[in-house]
Amino acid sequence: MSQSISTAQVIDEAGRRRTFAVISHPDAGKSTLTEALALHARAINSAGAVHGKGDRRGVTSDWMELERERGISVTSAALQFGYRERVMNLVDTPGHADFSEDTYRVLSAVDCAIMLVDAAKGLEEQTRKLFAVCRHRGVPVITFINKWDRRGRESLALLDDIQNVLGITPVPQVWPVGPAGNFRGIVQASDTEHMVRYTKEPGGTRVALEEVLDSAQAAEQEGDLWQEALEELELALDSGPGYDQEAFENGKITPVFFGAALTNIGVKLLLDAVVELAPAPGPRPLDGGGSREVTEDFSGVVFKIQANMDPAHRDRIAFVRVCSGVFERGMNVTRAASGRSFATKYASTVFGAERTVVDTAYPGDVVGLINASALRVGDTLYTGRKATFPPLPAFAPEYFAVARPKDISRSKQFRRGVSQLDEEGVVQVLVSDRRGDQAPVMAAVGPMQFDVVLHRMEHEFSSPITLDRLSYKLARVTDPDGQAELAKARLTDAEVLTRRSDDALLALFADKWHLSAFQRAKPDIRLDPLIATAD
C-alpha cells in the first residue's frame, strides 16, 4: 500500500463504496432501470430508453452494435457515479438467459443485487435462477417490483410468491397507492402520514416530478385507494418479522420497493435504499480458507474481459473488482495463476463505452485494465501477501457447434478471433484430435451466444465463419481414463474434447439416456458436472 494512503483512509473510502448489480428475467426492464438509477444520481442528463424495442435508442451501458440491433444487453458493463457522498459502482448484467454465465461472473464482483420483478409476470424462470446464484454466493438482495403503471398482479400476491417460491421474507419499504395499472403514488413504510405523487416526464427521459401530500390530502384526493394502500401495507408488515439489517445481509429478508423504471417513478427511493442498506465492501474469502481484509495490500479479481469496446482502437479491457487495499495506476501486481508480475500502466474507470483514466481505486471499485493480454476471467491479482480467490465455475454448455472459417486464407484472423472469444468467456472453446485446431467446437449455454460469435468474428476479426451444429446436449468433466474408455466404446453419440482455456477434458453426450447408459456400463469412470451453483 502506498505510504501516502493510511489504513484509516482505506477504511473510509471502502465504507463509501456501494457495488451492486441488477438481475432480472429478460424484458423486465433491467437496462431501463440501470439508466433510471444513473439519471436520478445526475450521472446522465437524459435516459436513453424510449417505448418499444424497435425504436429504442442505445442505453448508456449497451455499447455493442449487436445489442443496439436486438434491443437487449448481451454483455456486462460497469457504471461508476457519485450519489449522496457515496461512490456507486453499478455493474450491469446481460439481459438474456443465454448469457447466464456472464451474469454469474458479475455476481462474483458485487456486494448487493437488485432483483427486478415484472408486476404482471411475477417471478420468472431466469429471476429464480439468478436469485439462487445470489443465495449461493451470499449476496443480499433488494427487490424492485417494476411496471406498476401497467396492469399486473395484486401486490400481496407478489409478496406471497417471493416468500413461497424463493424462501425469503419480503419486507416492504414502500407501498403503491392504487393497483397495478392505476398507479397513484407511493407511501413509505417509515412515514404513513404522507403520500408521494409523481408526474411523468414525456418518454421518461427525465426525472419525474414529485409532490408530497399529507394524509388528509391523500384521503381527500385518492379516497378509498389511499385507505386500501395503508391497510395492505399494515397487513404486509404485520405478517413478517420487520426489517433487520443483519437478516438482510444474511439473506433471510429482502426489502421490497414498487415503481416504474421507464417513467422514473419510485427509482430515487430505491437508489436511496442502496446507499442506506447495501453493505460496503468487506473481507473476501480466499481459496482454501481464510479471508482477505479490505485493509490489506491490494488484491482484485478479474470478472470480465471484453475486447473492442472502442472500435477505433481495437483494444481489450479486463474488468477487475478491487477487493482490498489501494489500486494505483502503474503499480506492479502479481497474477496468482502464474506468479508473474506486470505493470498496470493503462487503467480506466468505465461509464458504458466512455473511459476515464483512473489513478487510484479502493475496495469495491471496478477498474478496467487495458490490453493486459495475460489476464483471464477468474484471475486473482495481488501485491504483498499472496492471495488466491475461489475460481469461477463454468456453466454446463448445452449447445455445441463446429466453427470453420469461410475463407481459409484468413486463418490467422480466425485463430486470433477464436482465442480472443475463449479468453473473454464469450463461449467455451473445445478442441479434439478428430477435428484439430482448425475446426474448434464452440460450446454455449444458450444459442444466442452463437449469434454473438458469428457477429464478432465477421465484424471485429474480419474472418466470417460457419457454425455446424452438433447433436450433443450434455457435458461432463472426465479424465484420461474416461477418455480412453469412451474411445474404446466408439460411441457415435459421445466424444471427449479438451477445453482450451484450462485443458479440462469434457465428455459430450447426445442426451441424458446415453449418459446414463455409459455410466451403468462404466460406473467407476469420472463424469462430474461443470457447475457448483444451485438450479
Q: Is 352 annotated as a binding residue?
A: no
CA 144 to CA 384: how far, in whole Å?
Answer: 41
| Helix (H) or strand (E) run with residue 64 in it | none
DSSP state, residue 263 = G
Show the beta-strand stretches assigned E in 421-473: 428-431, 441-444, 465-469
The DSSP 8-state label assigned to residue 391 in this structure reads: P
69 three-class SS: helix
Contact between 87 and 114 (Cβ < 8 Å): no
Contacts of 304 (CB under 8 A, 6+ apart): 76, 102, 105, 106, 109, 318, 319, 377, 425
Q: Which residue in the block uniquely carries the three cell numbers 479440462?
A: 504
Please report, as a single letter, which amino acid is at residue 316. Answer: R
60 labelled ligand-binding: no
In sign, the C-alpha dihedral spanning 27, 33, 39, 40 is: positive
State yes or no: 96 annotated in a binding site. Answer: yes
CA–CA dist 412, 438 (Å, integer)? 10
Q: Is 259 annotated as a binding residue?
A: no
Taking every pair of C-alpha atoms in the chain, what is the biggest distance, in angstroms?
82
Angle 480-489/512-521 helices, nearest 10 degrees?
100
Asked whether the beta carbons of 509 and 477 are under 8 A apart, the reply is no
503 labeled binding residue: no
- Three-state SS sequence of 188-215: ECCEEEEEEEEECCHHHCCCCEEEEEEH
Distance CA 45, CA 530 (A): 44
> Could you give the CA distance from residue 426 to residue 420 in angstroms, rounded to a whole number?
9
Are 265 and 174 within 8 A, CB to CB? no
Instruction: State how far the Cα of 102 lies from the Cα of 305, in Å rounded to an integer.
Output: 10
The span from the CA of 114 to the CA of 256, in Å, is 10
- The H or E element containing residue 417 is helix 411-424
Please state, as a whole number, how many other Cβ atoms lie within 10 Å of the Cβ of residue 464.
15
Please give the Cα distance from 189 to 155 (Å, whole number).
15
Residue 53 sits at φ, ψ, to 5 deg, of -75, -25
Residues at the binding site are 92-96
Binding site for GTP, residues?
92-96
